[in-house]
Structure 1
Amino acid sequence: MENNTTAPFTSYQKFVILILAVTQFTVILDFMVMSPLGDMLMKSLNLKPSAFGFAVSAYAFSAGISGLITAGFADKFDRKKLLLFFYVGFIAGTFFCGLAHSYYVLLAARIITGLFGGVIGSISLAIITDLFSLQQRGRVMGFIQMGFGASQVLGIPIGLYIANAWGWEAPFLMVASLACIVAIVISLKLKPIIQHLALQHNESVFMHLKQTVIKPDYRVGFLATAFLSIGGFMMMPFGSAFAINNLHVTTSQLPVLFMISGISSLIIMPLVGRLSDKTDKFKIFAAATVWLMIICLLYTNLSVTPLWLVIVFNILMMMGILSRMIPSSALTSAVPDMQDRGAFMSINSSLQQIAGGIAAAIAGAIVVQPTKFSPLIHYNWVGYVVVGVCALSIWLIYRVNRIVKRKTAMVAAAKNEPALNTEGI
């Protein structure tokens, strides 16, 4: 049998990768732009760190609730139609954010955006799992996650320039306008994705959700995702406020910082994706996690720091984050069976969002800023919590890795052929 590790993508597969990457770009940018706008929002709306942390959490919690509601019927519809439905809702919510002029209106807009936007990632993962083999998914995840880097290279710097010129509402209107174009392309060019419908049983939505949740292997994947999200989200909401008020990065330097970090991620992600298809995904994840723990401890204890050194730390941190994200996503995508993928990805996305919301809320409760312009206090405590959570995530992804290798061996045995490239899983 041909090893799919080196199999080239078809032209249609390349289109799917591109359109999902751009879709992820808009969704990630909508969420991530809240962090660099954090200092501006706290000053403009006179918010305390706890209030801003709750605004970030509102998106995450609503996204998590939406994912749980969606999970039961996620495998009962054409995945293209589901993607379009939730993406249109996301666009509407993002426009609403751009029209908000008070804290409570912004809070309501973030909830609406989360209800729709939080499900898009899980639908995209289900599409990837349906259309690409496990041995291709490291490369696919690497390209899809480039939306994360592109949001920093292009979206966040441009968004910050626009916000400095026209106010913090303007970046949300920019994202919504771009997303309208993407929705049209999806509607016209993406083919229906319905192979999973042939495997569905006539069970109720609630029973499908229940059957997905009670499977022990799935629960391990859910738990791993939750702790990965806590570790990944906790430092993010106050990243720009820490850089400006503690490290003395200026507001004009902030776009440069995000742009350089984003360029580094665009370089790193495809490399990590290819490497994770050729070698053991868990080993990459574990090494990257240890790396991230060290950088996190050093960074959160910095005081006034030259811009070049702040940039170096952000690049090193990005290397650790992305080298964890890509192999762990590829491994987790291999846990569910085809007939459960939509439900699994929806629940997984829900837990990811809820855990991220909890992380942002905890960070908001830990971090203190006595005045609008004073340094953040206790941000290093957030770093210590992140290190502990990262250590636990290594053990959880190790268990996911064992589940995936067992499933791969069982499939190979059923076909009376040797397991394919299990060391590279």
Structure 2
Amino acid sequence: MEKTSFTGYQKLVIALLAVTQFTVVLDFMVMSPLGDILMKSLDITPKQFGVAVSSYAFSAGISGLLAAGFADKYDRKKLLLFFYIGFILGTLFCALAPTYELLVAARIITGLFGGVIGSIGMAIITDIFPIQQRGRVMGTIQMGFAASQVLGIPIGLYLANLWGWHAPFLMIVGLSILIAVAIMQGLKPVTKHLELKTERNVWEHFRHVFATKNYQIAFAGTALLSVGGFLMMPFGSAFAINNLQITQEQLPMVFMVTGIASIVIMPLVGRLSDKYDKFKVFAYGSIWAIIMTAVYTNLTPMPLWIIMVLNILLFAGIMSRMVPATSLMTAIPEMQDRGAFMSINSSLQQIAGGIASIVAGLIIVQKDKNSPLEHYPTLGVISIVVILLCIWLVYRVNIIVKHKLGPKKPVSETV
């Protein structure tokens, strides 16, 4: 596949969306490494912690569904700024929350705004970048995930160890304010989709997008894509500390090393996705993720360097699934449907993840604050089954995309 270079403005857009994604991902990701601290500080159970994580996901999902009908009616830059400012306020409320109940309420507010930002970013990417560039774009944008591990989470954990679990949220607020100003100054209005007039009102537009069969296949694939991560991730730090005997001081190093490796792996996966078949890259990544999930969830205490290596290998499989799958999903919707499609897609992903977090909280058992987590391997088995189902759904998405982009081939509504 021919490789096309980015313009100066495209590089600026990638940078702005990447740092925006960094803060949103960090806000969500920091809950996992703070899990052990939160459960001990607030005296809550794994089930209650699962609720705290899923409250963000459920509110984000509901928000995305409500916003879907409006997503293609306005300038995408204005939508991005509106929801990003709301996200900043929600994160500030998290930093100020003195109790578990108020923390959950603040997470709900943050999710209402933060859950829509990713879908708006995907719509902007799809409007500005052709399919031939999107693997590299997604590999770069999703480096926000890796950067959150290299910089955000270790710094956040360091601050949490010094001043308590509120400190990482204050750090995110300060950084996000600077990024919001940069978006105001650097991003041009994104309004090309408004030139495609539609007579459908907000509700009819939502119903049209939600009811389109090709879109439904993509929605199901994206929802399943998030379930495996939401099953294991919220309790990852508690598993590392209580089962693998990693200390709170060592935990930031684990996240940092894994994040540095991801910064190398993700752009590589993006380039491979653009150069070769995206589905094949996804399928190979899924097989690797299955192997590493089975290994990691059954680990026992061992030297720190071995745990770091296995953690890197696990995340390599996860990232090798996310980048090509997300690139394929962006090729599914028509331009006039992109905003609504991305909002619904993100919403179903968040809702599925919220359900997975609740399920994980019900499965995981911890007898007391310092006991090992029980039944973590069960989460691994469920994740493997979900990954297998996801391969089948993404294969169907791949067929739709090939039909759509092929020469003079009609897009089948039923694949």
The TM-score normalised by the length of structure 2 is: 0.98
Looking at structure 2, the residues matched to 413 and 389 of structure 1 have their Cα atoms a distance apart, in angstroms, of 35
Looking at structure 2, the residues matched to 414 and 250 of structure 1 have their Cα atoms a distance apart, in angstroms, of 57
Equivalent position of 2:413 in the other structure: none
- Provide the identity percentage: 63
Looking at structure 1, the residues matched to 197 and 330 of structure 2 have their Cα atoms a distance apart, in angstroms, of 19
Question: Alignment partner for residue 256 of structure 1, among 253, 256, 263?
Answer: 253
Code of the residue aligned with 2:204 in structure 1: it is M
Question: Alignment partner for residue 185 of structure 2, among 183, 188, 196?
Answer: 188
CA contact (8 A) 2:135 2:323 kept: yes
How far does the alpha carbon of each residue in 1:336-385 deviate from its partner, in whole angstroms, 9 at most, with x for none?
Answer: 00000000000000001001101111110000000000000001100000
Change (3 A) 1:296 1:414: closer
Equivalent position of 1:354 in the other structure: 351
Equivalent position of 1:147 in the other structure: 144
Looking at structure 2, the residues matched to 192 and 414 of structure 1 have their Cα atoms a distance apart, in angstroms, of 33
What are the equivalent positions in structure 2 for 1:114-263 lying under 5 Å apart?
114-263=111-260
What are the equivalent positions in structure 2 for 1:14-413 lying under 5 Å apart?
14-409=11-406, 412-413=407-408
CA contact (8 A) 2:97 2:103 kept: yes
Looking at structure 2, the residues matched to 198 and 71 of structure 1 have their Cα atoms a distance apart, in angstroms, of 18
Q: SS in structure 1 opposite 2:98?
A: coil
Structure 2: where are the runs of 5+ without partners? 411-415
Q: SS in structure 2 opposite 1:36?
A: coil
How far does the alpha carbon of each residue in 1:88-137 deviate from its partner, in whole angstroms, 9 at most, with x for none?
Answer: 00000000000011000000000000000000000000000000000000
Code of the residue aligned with 1:244 in structure 2: it is I
Q: SS in structure 2 opposite 1:377?
A: coil
Instruction: Report the alpha carbon displacement of residue 232 of structure 1 after superposing the two structures with TM.
Output: 2.0
Looking at structure 1, the residues matched to 331 and 241 of structure 2 have their Cα atoms a distance apart, in angstroms, of 41
Instruction: Report the alpha carbon displacement of residue 283 of structure 1 after superposing the two structures with TM.
Output: 0.6
Q: SS in structure 1 opposite 2:234?
A: coil
RMSD of Structure 2 on Structure 1 (CA): 1.0
How far does the alpha carbon of each residue in 1:259-298 deviate from its partner, in whole angstroms, 9 at most, with x for none?
Answer: 0000000000111101100001101111111111111011
Looking at structure 1, the residues matched to 240 and 197 of structure 2 have their Cα atoms a distance apart, in angstroms, of 50
CA contact (8 A) 1:76 1:200 kept: no
Instruction: Report the alpha carbon displacement of residue 202 of structure 1 after superposing the two structures with TM.
Output: 2.3
How far does the alpha carbon of each residue in 1:23-72 deviate from its partner, in whole angstroms, 9 at most, with x for none?
Answer: 00000000000000000000000010000001000000000000000000
Which stretches of structure 1, 4 residues or longer, exceed 4 Å deviation after superposition?
Answer: none
Looking at structure 2, the residues matched to 166 and 251 of structure 1 have their Cα atoms a distance apart, in angstroms, of 14
Instruction: Report the alpha carbon displacement of residue 77 of structure 1 after superposing the two structures with TM.
Output: 0.1
CA contact (8 A) 2:72 2:336 kept: yes
Instruction: Report the alpha carbon displacement of residue 414 of structure 1 after superposing the two structures with TM.
Output: 7.9
CA contact (8 A) 2:403 2:409 kept: no
CA contact (8 A) 2:4 2:132 kept: no
Q: SS in structure 2 opposite 1:22?
A: helix
Looking at structure 1, the residues matched to 260 and 409 of structure 2 have their Cα atoms a distance apart, in angstroms, of 44
Q: SS in structure 1 opposite 2:408?
A: helix
Equivalent position of 1:419 in the other structure: none
Looking at structure 1, the residues matched to 296 and 143 of structure 2 have their Cα atoms a distance apart, in angstroms, of 24
Equivalent position of 1:420 in the other structure: none
Equivalent position of 1:418 in the other structure: none
Code of the residue aligned with 2:230 in structure 1: it is F
